[in-house]
Amino acid sequence: MLGALWMLGQTAWLARRASSDSRVGGVEASQVTDAIQKHFAHHIQDTSWLLVGCALGVGWMLGAAASGLIWLRAWLVGNERPTWPRLHLEALGWIAGLQGGALLLALARRPQLYEEFFYGAGGARRLLQVLCTDVLGQRGLALLLMLALVAALVGGPGRWGRLRERWRVLRRGGAGALLAGALLAVWPTSPEARAEDPRVNVLILAADSLRADRLRPGIAPRLAAFSQGAVGFEEARVSLPRTFPSWVTLLTGKYPHHHGIRNMFPSRAARARDFDALPGRLQQAGYHTAVVSDYAGDIFPRIRLGFSRVDTPTFHLGELVRQRAIEAQIGLLPFLDTRAGRALVPSMLGHNRAPDAEGVARRALQAIDEARGKPFFLVTFFSTAHFPYASPDPGYRRFTDAGYRGRFKYQKVNTLGREAPPDEHDERQIRGLYDGAVSVVDEAMGAVLDGLAARGLSGRTVVVVTADHGETLFEQGRGHGHGDHLFGEEALAVPLLFRDGRRPEPRRVWGLARDVDLAPTLYELTGVAPPGDLDGVSLAPALRGAPLTTEHAFAETGLWFTEETPGVPHDLRLPYPDISRMGEIVRDAGDDVVLQQAYFPTTVLAKHRAVYSRDRKLILAPTRQGLRTLLFDPIADPANLRDLSELEPETSARLKSTLLQWVLQDPMLELRGEHLIPRGVAAERAPASETFRLEGP
């Protein structure tokens, strides 16, 4: 009871402190937080009861542990029976000590969850977190805490005589326990017999924001080794570098203007279509289809692509409210950021400061086991390499400077462009955080590959390693992230590796490979009939040694989240408001967060588009003055710094014509002179000043 009261009081104080914070994602947004408190009190109430339940459970656990330690101390050293007040004070000391020890270990293991309360506060709290992460580390802390526990249990040298007597008792009991454990470990078990289906399995190992140039031994040794035994497509490109539309493209083999998912906040109508996607067709053919992910996989429950099992978080306003409330509870977080905690509080799975690559790998192997002899199609999608690059120990410190004391010590928090630009030291730190996150994903992917081999499935499984997009990391002053612009190759180039266990014939393949080509390739490899309207072509001939014959690859930007976008000059942009003004919460549809339809035509019209040929890349930018074209040599000038459009007017005109043919396949657009305009779209005026809109009762 004392433990429960201790945790309840602490939880109430932290909740009150968090309720006075009007920031969202580090940005002052009092209108948003006020509206949530006014219109969505049910989410706040549900979250409050969740926190009360967690506090009671964790408090009971701490109190029970304290009781056991008090009993153990009395048994070891023979203390007198204490009075009730002294007993409660002693119990409270043990409870606080146990919670404090768990918090210190959590500070070293997952500092991102606690950065705002400790490192961000400065002073002694900052010093404490730096001491835990940079000086002691998890091992040093564990050793110190163990010594402190022994000292608290044993006391001074005057009690060592009784301890020797108790040690003889413990030794005899320990020998029996070890013998029983050994017998259980070697006890024979009969594995479940399974009738194996001879068809090929498909395992997709993908990471959010994984750049193609990071698959090298110093950062990702497991993937680097895997690539040596795989067919690697050296010029693989995505068509829209944002997670939601990119995954729909990968799994349908269609471009975004054909499948209809154009941004991260598509309407329910856009998501309700029959996508006739690869997982659905494989499921109909008898495959066990599953997707497993942590926070970046929250797109999959929002759309039906044919997975029989979707083991990912979800995304709606209620989840955002819960995550915001949970992240303020630093006393509970060490217990919630565990395997048991995530099982009891699924909102932890969706927290972007607590990605769980190890857990994703474990759940992926469970999904394989659930196939029970049927062929499986499994998408395993890791979030750790997505910003804020919040990798656990030792990832966050593998490639960073221990002496760095700036605002990006443990993670790159995104504040939607409302922060001062990072300097050279900040950029170097952020790149180190990213590389550390990639290394954590590499280890987790290696664990899945090891589990596949241990199950004897490697020889009849096609393993694909890829990404939904890459990541820009301040190259050429063009900002950070993905989807805002098409300059350079960092966000568009992705790894694309195939290892067919039936025919392991490694090679490097040069030439244009596209995200729309993945689904046609897997249709051919599995022998399942594809739809007749795919935009991509099968890469299976190239897997067998044939040259690639694709002449062009296409790409478009995503939704601009801010009105000021690094890498996109004002004269190359059709303006529209930032995402905080364009959002809409559909209250009668589960408080879904979508883009207001009034803004949709403008956001599609304003997109930049690009076309790749064998040796040139042309970018088309709609402006108020008309279409602007920029031509680059992506081989000699991968940073896209030198515009060749005036030097090569014929090439520029030819590629512009090719790109416009692709753009005008979009049913929403038509060309009038040198201007793209919406086609057949009702002229609905977008609101001028709303922060966001509520739709429904």
Q: Report pLDDT for 492.
A: 98
Mean pLDDT of 558-587: 89
Q: Report pLDDT for 551.
A: 96
Q: Report pLDDT for 409.
A: 97
% of the chain with per-residue pLDDT over 90: 75
Q: Report pLDDT for 28.
A: 44
Dihedral, CA of residue 45, residue 48, residue 54 and residue 57, to nearest 10: -90
* CA nearest neighbour of 53 among 435, 403, 244, 326: 326
Contacts of 693 (CB under 8 A, 6+ apart): 583, 584, 585, 596, 687
Residue type, 312: T
Condensed to tens digits (0 to 9), the pLDDT of residues 430-454 reads 999 999 999 999 999 999 999 999 9
Could you give phi then psi for residue 289, rounded to 5 degrees?
Answer: -110, 135
Task: Output the average pLDDT for the chain.
Answer: 89
Q: Report pLDDT for 192.
A: 46
Of 44-48, 90-94, 329-333, which range is least confident? 44-48
Rg (CA), the chain: 28
Whether the CA torsion 34, 35, 41, 47 is positive or negative: it is: negative
Condensed to tens digits (0 to 9), the pLDDT of residues 506-523 reads 999 999 999 999 999 999
Q: With a cut of 60, say whether residue 158 has pLDDT above it.
A: no
* CA nearest neighbour of 621 among 569, 667, 673: 569
Q: Is 628 helix (H, G, I), strand (E, B) or coil?
A: strand
Rounded Cα–Cα distance for residues 24 and 37 (Å): 13
Q: Report pLDDT for 167.
A: 56
pLDDT band at 191 (very low <50, low <70, confident <90, very high): very low
Mean pLDDT of 545-557: 96
Mean pLDDT of 533-545: 97
Mean pLDDT of 170-182: 55
pLDDT band at 35 (very low <50, low <70, confident <90, very high): low
Rounded Cα–Cα distance for residues 440 and 224 (Å): 14
pLDDT band at 423 (very low <50, low <70, confident <90, very high): very high
Mean pLDDT of 28-49: 70
Q: Report pLDDT for 232.
A: 98
- Asked whether the beta carbons of 426 and 407 are under 8 A apart, the reply is yes
pLDDT band at 689 (very low <50, low <70, confident <90, very high): very low
Q: How is residue 573 annotated by DSSP?
A: -
Mean pLDDT of 366-377: 95
Rounded Cα–Cα distance for residues 165 and 76 (Å): 9
Whether the CA torsion 167, 170, 172, 174 is positive or negative: it is: negative
pLDDT band at 86 (very low <50, low <70, confident <90, very high): confident
Q: Report pLDDT for 21.
A: 57
Domain ranges of the chain: 2-167, 201-294+355-549, 570-695
% of the chain with per-residue pLDDT over 70: 87
- Asked whether the beta carbons of 249 and 519 are under 8 A apart, the reply is no
Q: Report pLDDT for 16.
A: 84
**Other Cβ atoms closer than 10 A to 43:** 20
Contacts of 119 (CB under 8 A, 6+ apart): 111, 125, 126, 129, 130, 409, 410
Q: Report pLDDT for 168.
A: 59
Rounded Cα–Cα distance for residues 238 and 610 (Å): 11
Distance, C-alpha 160 to centroid of its chain? 52
Condensed to tens digits (0 to 9), the pLDDT of residues 448-487 reads 999 999 999 999 999 999 999 999 999 998 999 999 999 9
- Asked whether the beta carbons of 676 and 669 are under 8 A apart, the reply is yes
Q: Report pLDDT for 351.
A: 92
Condensed to tens digits (0 to 9), the pLDDT of residues 387-422 reads 999 999 999 999 999 999 999 999 998 765 567 889
- Asked whether the beta carbons of 443 and 220 are under 8 A apart, the reply is no
Q: Which CATH number fits domain 570-695: 3.40.50.300, 3.40.190.10, 3.30.1120.10, 3.40.109.10?
A: 3.30.1120.10
- Retrieve residue 356's tokens: 């769980």
Instruction: Please give the CATH architecture assigned to the domain spanning 201-294+355-549.
Output: 3-Layer(aba) Sandwich (3.40)
Condensed to tens digits (0 to 9), the pLDDT of residues 210-233 reads 999 999 999 999 999 999 999 999
Q: With a cut of 60, say whether residue 173 has pLDDT above it.
A: no
Q: Is 173 helix (H, G, I), strand (E, B) or coil?
A: helix
Mean pLDDT of 548-577: 93
Q: Report pLDDT for 155.
A: 67
pTM of the model: 0.92
Print the SS3 string covering 296-315.
HHHHHHHCCCCCCEEECCCC
**Other Cβ atoms closer than 10 A to 466:** 21
Q: With a cut of 50, say whether residue 697 has pLDDT above it.
A: no
- Asked whether the beta carbons of 346 and 301 are under 8 A apart, the reply is no
Q: With a cut of 70, say whether residue 488 has pLDDT above it.
A: yes
Mean pLDDT of 660-664: 98
610 or 504, which is more confident: 610
Contacts of 192 (CB under 8 A, 6+ apart): none
Q: Report pLDDT for 159.
A: 56
pLDDT band at 587 (very low <50, low <70, confident <90, very high): confident
Q: Report pLDDT for 175.
A: 54
pLDDT band at 45 (very low <50, low <70, confident <90, very high): confident
Mean pLDDT of 111-137: 95
Q: Report pLDDT for 74.
A: 81
* CA nearest neighbour of 539 among 526, 522, 552: 522
Q: With a cut of 70, say whether residue 183 has pLDDT above it.
A: no
**Which residues are registered as beta bridge partners of 19?**
none
Mean pLDDT of 159-187: 55
- Asked whether the beta carbons of 260 and 347 are under 8 A apart, the reply is no
Q: Where are the alpha helices (DSSP H) in 207-271?
A: 221-228, 243-252, 256-259, 268-271
Give helix then strand counts, H and E, for the chain.
23, 21
Mean pLDDT of 355-367: 97
Q: Report pLDDT for 165.
A: 59
Condensed to tens digits (0 to 9), the pLDDT of residues 623-650 reads 999 999 999 999 999 999 999 999 999 9
- Retrieve residue 131's tokens: 């001491």
Q: Report pLDDT for 187.
A: 56
Q: Where are the alpha helices (DSSP H) in 371-407?
A: 395-398
